[in-house]
Amino acid sequence: MNKMNKKGDIWISVIIYTLVGLTAIGILLAIVQPRIQEMRDGITIKQTIEALHEFDSSLRSTLVAPGNKRNVEFKISAGKLDILPEKDLIVWSMESTNKFSEPDILVREGSISILTEKNQPYTISLILNYTNVADITFNMDMEEKAKTLAQASSPYILSIENFGITSSELQQIDIKLR
């Protein structure tokens, strides 16, 4: 009978130690997981800033002369990209727990404006403003309709083409999705 009690005691000890270990791992994950997500969001935002710099460089290189055309790959791993022809804006945004910049203060990084909105989770917006630089259209649509590109596993290929000066005295830059 004494041997049976020892076997039972060993199994109870094993179960208790296992439960304590699993609880410790669960608590650790609960504490670390939000920080990992913040870091992941920060990396995504930095990669998108680099991609927008490349997009901006390609678009500005087409301004040299009518007929210039460039193709740009743009990967959206999180968030969405809005092409807003009526405002001549390109805006990438995503919700994040990462406070990337000071909330409600517009920060400039080259030609990109960065805005972190105060709401929780934060909305991070990266803005390319072409007002007084170019007249942006999407697929030669003169009705100035906005286009949203969502998160996708493969990169979008965007074609940027200069169609010359418009009635607004600006170069018409058309963006097409290929």
CA 122 to chain centre: 13
Interacting residues of 111 by C-beta distance below 8 A, sequence separation 6+: 53, 56, 128, 129
Segments making up each domain of the chain, as ranges:
41-177
Burial class (CB in 10 A: 0-12, 13-18, 19+), 153: exposed
Is the per-residue pLDDT at 94 higher than 70? yes
CA 149 to chain centre: 11
Distance CA 20, CA 15 (A): 9
Q: Is residue 111 very low, low, confident or very high in pLDDT (cuts 50, 70, 90)? A: very high
Cα angle 110, 111, 114 (rounded to 5 degrees) comes to 85
- Give pLDDT tens digits for 23-39: 999 999 999 988 888 89
- Give pLDDT tens digits for 126-150: 999 999 999 999 988 767 688 999 9
Is the per-residue pLDDT at 160 higher than 90? yes
- Distances, alpha carbon 56 to alpha carbons 18, 80, 111, 136, in Å: 55, 17, 8, 12
Q: How many CB atoms lie within 10 A of CB 104?
A: 10
State which H helix or E strand residue 129 sits in: strand 122-129
Higher local confidence (pLDDT), 6 or 156: 156
Q: Which two tokens stand for residue 152?
A: 């996708």
> pTM of the predicted model, to two decimals?
0.81
